[in-house]
Structure 1
Amino acid sequence: MDPHRLLIFREVARTESIAAAARRLGWTQPAVSQHLRRLERQAGLPLVVRHSRGIRLTEAGATLLRHADAIATRLHAAEDDMAALADLAAGTVRLAAFPSACATLVPTAMTNLARHRPGLEIRMTQCEPPAATTLVTSGEADLAVLFSHDSRLPDHGPDLQLIPLTDDPVRLVVPTGHPAATAAAPLTCLASTPWIAGCPSCATHLAHTCEAAGFSPDVQHSTDDYVVVQNLVARGLGVALLPQLALDAYHHPDVRALPLATTERALYLLCHREALQIPAVAETVRALQQAATAHRPQTPPAT
């Protein structure tokens, strides 16, 4: 059955008059009568009995009216849902982000969204940039937070949009009291010191940074966990490079973070170009941009 004709029939049934239904619909009376006759042919049964004061429903008409009412209710619910999504009162955004962003930027953004857009739900997945890019490309995530070292843009397909977010300074992390803390060129003091490396991208950045200082790092430990890194450093088992976001998330009291000139990573947001037209995604982008501004260090700490 044509659902449009069911809704016309519903107006006829509720007003008990073809003429009254036509006025409410803004149609002519013959047009409403024609749709009603076609619906009766589709149903195979008469739906109304016409009399001088209007119409009366047949048993088949009363049964069909219940279905027409249900359809109208669902359509109204759909309109309400679409209006809520358009007004950012509801919606789900699937977000992928690397660990230190998941511990800092993402919770800040989620808290602000929960306060101002309580119907907007964020579902977070923690993963490194290559995996996050794959999730966005495959449609399993709507938005990703990525990082890249040494001014290289993260790899992404032509259908994806990369949005610069902020810069995240990279610090040299040594035990408290280490001689490098007072050295004019701290990296050069660490040529023979064991190093701790992170993810593949971070390990490559470590190698390039040390090579620029004139040596190759002796990497004795590898871990993506910045809490583990700092615990190893605190016990004198190595030194490391860590981004400021990781130190914002957790800072061991027995390590010192030293600023390094021109050493940082760039943060980006990644999504399909069309996704920015979805209000919930666009609002999440704005919330992450505000969180990045709030977390941006004002002065390089050396603590």
Structure 2
Amino acid sequence: MDLGRLRTLRELSIRKTMAAVSEALYVSPSAISQQLTLLEQEVGATLIERRGRGVSLTAAGQVLVEHAERVFAELEIAKADIQKLENLVAGDIRVAAFPSVATALMPSTMRHLNREHPQLNIGFDEMEPEESLAALRTWQTDVAIIDDLNVLAGALDPSIETVPLIEDVFLVMMGKEHPLATKPEVTLTDLLHESWVIDTASKNYTSMITQACQGAGFDPRIVARCKGFEVSVALIREHCGISILPGLRASRDLTDVEVRPLKPEIRRKISLAFRKGQRHSPLIRAFINACVHRAAEVTRSVKE
């Protein structure tokens, strides 16, 4: 039975539509449909049925996905066990992380691993948490760095393990001459009449900001919606607006921008995610250890 076709069926069980599976696997919808047809021929049973614009798994399809989960888990364990026998940190590993944590952790982590394990080849992809988790489920990456703002703990796939990495505290950012720059800390009510610059890379971040402001009794007056941190900071620097942005972002390259703690705090927990059975792989273990060590260094520097 073809493993690639099994993975396609498994992804369909999660994403529900051919179009979503096509987008996740970077394969055309017609190719996805063909793979599933061939899989049905292999097993001699109907695995999917169309319902409106979507599709659902038949009882046979659900049973096959359950078995496929166990097969993939065993293959991961076998791969890790073989690597452990060799006790050699060598080979390829792909890592996906979102911009703020990637900026703070990835360069030094990769530099350390390149020095300590020259036979380990790290490939990095910048992805938002939900995207990187989808890549992890479909074997397009080996480690995904995620947060609990975008990926709720209860929503994690049972085949995914996580290791806590770091907690990130959101901070208020404003121009150097902003009146609030004279205050040691800022409350949400202090921001009642401000213009806001919002990073729209994560819809959950936007929702978090909106809900926090509404909880303080107002709707944020958003004047700029940006897809990247560079534009956001440029606008803040020129006093076009203020923003609440990740503290990990505030630790680097913020010329002419003031940063103040927000009271009460808004935090997010950031974790490393990987497929079950991979924890004992020397490659995965080396990356986890290096990344956790770097995160601890960042945490200490923030406290100092």
TM-score calculated relative to the size of structure 2: 0.66
**1:117 Cα offset (Å):** 0.8
- Alpha-carbon separation, structure 2, partners of 1:169 and 1:250: 18
Name the CA distance, whole Å, in 1 between partners of 2:125 and 2:164. Answer: 20
After TM superposition, list the pairs within 5 Å mapping 1:149-160 onto structure 2: 149=149, 152-153=152-153, 155-160=155-160
Q: How does 1:240-251 map to 2 (within 5 A)?
A: 240-251=243-254
- The aligned residue for residue 195 of structure 2 is 194
Deviation at 1:186, TM superposition (A): 3.9
Q: Which residue of 1 aligns with 2:238?
A: 235
2:167 is the counterpart of 1:167: yes
Question: Do the aligned partners of 2:175 and 2:239 also contact (CA within 8 Å) in 1?
Answer: yes
Aligned to 2:218, the other structure's residue is in SS state: coil
Residue from 257, 260, 283 that aligns with 2:259: 257
Is 1:269 equivalent to 2:269 in the alignment? no
**Quick one: which amino acid aligns to residue 88 of structure 2?**
L
CA contact (8 A) 1:170 1:243 kept: yes
Q: Which amino acid aligns with 2:292?
A: Q
Answer whether contact 1:108 1:291 (CA < 8 A) is retained. yes
What's the counterpart of residue 203 of structure 1? Answer: 206
Residues 219-262 of structure 1 show CA distances to partners (whole Å, capped at 9, x for unaligned) of 221223212111100111111111121122321x2211111132
User: Which residue pairs with 2:129 in the alignment?
Assistant: 129
Cα distance, 1:96 vs structure 2: 0.4
Contact 2:165–2:295 (Cα < 8 Å) also in 1:
yes
Identical columns (%): 25
Q: Distance in 1 between matches of 2:85 and 2:107?
A: 22
Asked if 1:120 corresponds to 2:120, the answer is: yes
How does 1:91-102 map onto structure 2 within 5 Å? 91-102=91-102
When Rg is computed on C-alpha atoms for both structures, the one with the higher figure is 1
Which residue matches 1:27?
Answer: none
Q: Which residue of 2 aligns with 1:146?
A: 146
Q: Is the Cα–Cα contact under 8 Å of residues 97 and 132 in structure 1 kept in the other structure?
A: yes
The alpha-carbon distance between structure 1 residues 232 and 255, as it changes in their structure 2 partners (threshold 3 A), is: same
CA distance in 2 between partners of 1:113 and 1:97 (Å): 17
Q: Distance in 1 between matches of 2:257 and 2:290?
A: 32
Distance, in Å, in 2 between the alignment partners of 1:187 and 1:268 is 27
Residues 4-34 of structure 1: CA deviation (Å, up to 9, x unaligned): xxxxxxxxxxxxxxxxxxxxxxxxxxxxxxx
Cα separation, 2, equivalents of 1:228 and 1:122:
29
RMSD between aligned alpha carbons?
2.4
- Give the counterpart letter for 1:236 in structure 2: H
Secondary structure (helix, strand or coil) at the match of 2:155 reads coil
Question: Deviation at 1:152?
Answer: 4.6
Describe the shift of the 1:297–1:243 C-alpha distance in structure 2 as closer, same or farther (beyond 3 A). Answer: farther
Residues in 2 aligned to 1:154 and 1:122: alpha-carbon distance in whole angstroms: 29
* SS of equivalent residue, structure 1 residue 112: helix
Aligned to 1:79: none
Give 1:85 deviation, angstroms: 8.1
SS of equivalent to 2:290: helix
TM-score (norm 1): 0.66
Alignment of 1:289-300 (within 5 A): 289-299=292-302
List runs of 5+ in structure 2 lacking aligned partners.
1-81
Residues in 2 aligned to 1:200 and 1:250: alpha-carbon distance in whole angstroms: 25
Determine the C-alpha separation between the residues in 1 that align with 2:131 and 2:105: 19
Contact 1:259-1:300 within 8 A present in 2 as well: no
Q: How many residues align?
A: 219
Question: How far, CA to CA, are the matches of 1:196 and 1:108 in structure 2?
Answer: 30
After superposition, the Cα gap between the structure-2 partners of 1:213 and 1:108, relative to the gap in structure 1 and judged at 3 Å, is same
Offset at residue 169 of structure 1 (A) = 1.2
Structure 1 contact 88–117 (Cα < 8 Å) conserved = no
Q: Is the 1:180–1:186 Cα contact (8 Å) retained in structure 2?
A: no
How far is 1:155 from its partner? 3.5
Q: In structure 2, how many angstroms separate the alpha carbons of the residues matched to 1:239 and 1:146?
A: 26
Relative to structure 1, the CA distance from residue 152 to residue 208 in structure 2 (aligned partners, 3 Å threshold; closer, same or farther) is farther
1:152–1:212 CA distance, 2 compared to 1 (3 A)? farther
What residue is the counterpart of 2:221 in the other structure? 218
Unaligned runs of 5+ in 1: 1-81
Given residue 193 of structure 1, which amino acid in structure 2 is its aligned partner? E
The residue aligned with 1:105 is 105
Give the secondary structure class of the aligned counterpart of 2:251. Answer: helix
